Amino acid sequence: MKNYYLLLAYILISVSGISQNTKKPTIEALIHNLEDSENKEIIVVAHRGDWRNAPENSLQAIQYCIDMGVDMVEIDVRETKDGQLVLMHDNTIDRTTKKKGKVKDYTLEELQTFHLVDGLGMKTQHKIPSLEEALLLVKGKILVNLDKCYPVFEKCYEVIEKTNTFNQVILKGEKTRMEVEKEYGHYLDKVYFMPQIKLPKPDARTIVDDYLAYSPPIAFAFGVPQDTIQFIQYFDDIRAKGSSVWVNSLWKRHNGGHDDEKAALDPSVYDWYIENNINIIQTDRPQLLLDYLRKKGLHK
């Protein structure tokens, strides 16, 4: 029995040592990879945080992504009645809390008294975070993509400035270069901006080429409903010209059927992204994607 306990202690010490010696990429390494469109390491983005294990857009869902070694977390931003920013995907709180109503009908103080629910609709101890709380949590640890942010671009910028997280945050919108520059041009040399383009869009090539000719954005986010769309063949040129290519693996309408639920049965589904020069993947199964990419030597 004594030998058993000694063996158990040795195993626990060994596992602890392995855990402690496992190094996660530094924020500097993550930023370097983000800024290098031709880097061979694929960037993994967790959609609304690790929502399978904590309520979506909660601080805990973000923390789990940090612990997991995810490169970037995607979170959603909404404005409150008193002009503050909180994390919430829908414009109402009906689905993600036990309360009812629009986000804009409540103050920040009121919203932060409500409890988030889990994926089964059960009340948890997690509260609705402010954007400031979220950015303070991720500071120096992980990259962040803000969704639903374009209508409150300036307020997002203020929070980014307050938390000094400029080099960690990507804002995005379905806008041409001229539209973005007209509306928020004075911010574009201070923050990362990513255009969103849903394919097949007749003028997609014109929009992309215009961005690339003036100042390549950090990335383009493409919706690819069919994997036969000719534009996919342009992804390698886009990366060679200085911008990364982002495609969602969430649902089949984003990726021509090469989605996370198929990958849960056969992870080789993710080979489609690799083969088509996609180097940023937003997923609902971050651990599965990380494990697969690491086996292929495409993620540290």
With a CB cutoff of 8 Å and minimum separation 6, the contacts of 250 are 47, 259, 260, 282, 283, 284
- Rounded distance, CA 124 to CA 32, Å? 37
The residues annotated with a catalytic role in the active site are: 47, 89
| Phi, psi for residue 41 in degrees, rounded to 5 | -85, 125
Q: Which of 91, 87, 115 is nearest to 103 (CA)?
A: 91
Query: What single DSSP character describes residue 118?
Result: -
Query: What single DSSP character describes residue 92?
Result: B
- 8 Å CB contact between 36 and 71: no
- Rounded distance, CA 130 to CA 33, Å? 28
- Cα angle for residues 82, 50, 18 (degrees, 5° grid): 130
Got the DSSP string for 9-26? HHHHHHHHHHHHHPPPPP
Pair of tokens at residue 289: 């994607």
> Could you give the C-alpha distances from 55 to 49, 75, 121, 124, 126, in angstroms and in order?
8, 12, 10, 8, 7
- 8 Å CB contact between 142 and 71: yes
- 8 Å CB contact between 289 and 283: yes
